[in-house]
Amino acid sequence: MPPAFRFALPAEAAAWRSALWLGALMYTVLALMAVVFYLERMTLLDMAFQGFHILRTGELQIQSGRFGAAGTQVFPWAAQALGLPLRGVLITYSLGHVFYYAALFAVVMFGFRQWRWGFVLLLLSTLMTTHTFYWLSEMPQGLAFLAALLAWAHAREHPRRFRLWEYPLLAGAVVTAFYFHPLVLHAFAFCAAYFWLDTHTTRALKQNYALLAGLFAACLIVKYFVLPLDWYDNMAMERSRAFAELWPHWFDLKSQRDFLQWLAADYYVLAIVVALNVAYFLWRRRWWLAVLSAFGPVVFVFMVNVPHHYGAPQFYMENLYLPLGVMAAVPWIFGVLLGLLPAHRLWIPVAIVVFAGLMRIAFAHSTWTARVQWERNFLQKTAQTDHRKWLMAESQVPMDTLIMSWGSAFEFLIHSSLTHPDSARCLLIDETPERFDTLRTRPRLFLSEFKNYPFDSLPARYFRPRDTAEYRYWPQQ
């Protein structure tokens, strides 16, 4: 081991090596799956939408101020700038979502030498992640960035250990973590509470958490009380009214029943880890940590489920639940496992959870492969008809397979263009396709859910639709 990475205790060095090798193996497997399932990931709703616009504009596509997403969007941007074909851009984008986490893991391990936080990062990608391996968003990116930020705080051990030039970087890192997704703040609050309540935390490290808490609080005030809210945040604030409107029926909600069903089917490892955390802290008579480990996740589930009481697809709700991974992993790594096992053996239970997570992610592909296959089969079916530009109602397609349709125009365009840019097809599924009635006769217009684009505005390197016929409504079956 290089001198810069020597540890005071041999067990620490062994633990660092174990975390490093386990991380290298896990990210290699995830990278392979990212290539194998690149269509499932890149032609799905948000990624199809963002990928289309990156190719159309040659610019990053930051949504709702979540500028941290540049960490993954830079990969397709670079791929199109280098002139890679469409398939190459999509694979690069898919791999970029693995490279991003691997890069943060490398920073935590080599830059900060925080192998405990390295294990937390591995668990964030496997402990709860199932369908969110395929439907990609800023939430898991923000949680991983938060873990790296907290690893930095642990490495410095005290506010005075930060160099003067690091303070602006620290403030920028907090702003970035906060703007990835509003719920990242809840994950930080749990971690801050955990280390403040843990008697093993030094006073100096608690001061670091106080500094970070002040920076996060400043972000909260500026975003919600100083700056105007965008449409997405306004919608979230509207949903919060459900807490008052639905009381005292918080327990009898569709979202609560769905969560329990998913917990038993897919997130049982998370439940086991949380239960182990609570049991261990009760056994050790560390009452406040037991209370936090038990009620922190429960309160957070209510904070998600009550505003989304009507129920939503699992992949979307899973994305909102992902901070539970932090709330389970941090006590497990820093409290339970370190209290039960020597440092150099810590990798064994973590490896079991990681392996189980990888298997669960791999099996979950069937949902998204079926979606891809239906769209590709429909393209093939309609290619045999005299007319090839169609508007379809959701009632005419298997929505139990498609789940959501708003990205269908971009998805069909990408699927059809993989053969050749000239093979680009224009099809659209919508709840009420009749709303396009005044536009469907325009011969050189690409219709999509939010905005419509003349053929000449599409990047010819990737999309060159040749069909100038009008859109027609798909025949009733």
pLDDT digits over 271-307, tens only?
999 999 999 999 999 999 999 999 999 999 999 999 9
pLDDT of residue 428: 97
What type of residue sits at position 57? T
| Domain map (residue ranges) of the chain | 3-363, 366-473
- 101, 106, 108, 113: CA torsion to nearest 10: 160
pLDDT of residue 239: 83
Q: At residue 337, does pLDDT exceed 80?
A: yes
Q: What is the mean pLDDT of residues 97-106?
A: 98
Under a CB-based contact definition with an 8 Å cutoff, are residues 242 and 307 in contact? Answer: yes
pTM, full prediction: 0.95
pLDDT of residue 1: 45
- The neighbour count for residue 308, using CB atoms within 10 Å, is 18
Q: Strand order in 390-393's β-sheet?
A: 427-430, 390-393, 472-473
Q: At residue 187, does pLDDT exceed 60?
A: yes
Q: What is the mean pLDDT of residues 34-54?
A: 98
Q: At residue 176, does pLDDT exceed 70?
A: yes
Q: Are strands 472-473 and 390-393 parallel, antiparallel or unpaired?
A: parallel
Q: For 109-152, how does the pLDDT look when each residue is reduced to its tens digit (9 = 90+)?
A: 999 999 999 999 999 999 999 999 999 999 999 999 999 999 99
Q: For 218-248, how does the pLDDT look when each residue is reduced to its tens digit (9 = 90+)?
A: 999 999 888 888 777 777 778 888 899 999 9
pLDDT tier, 384 (very low <50, low <70, confident <90, very high otherwise): confident
Q: What is the mean pLDDT of residues 456-475?
A: 95
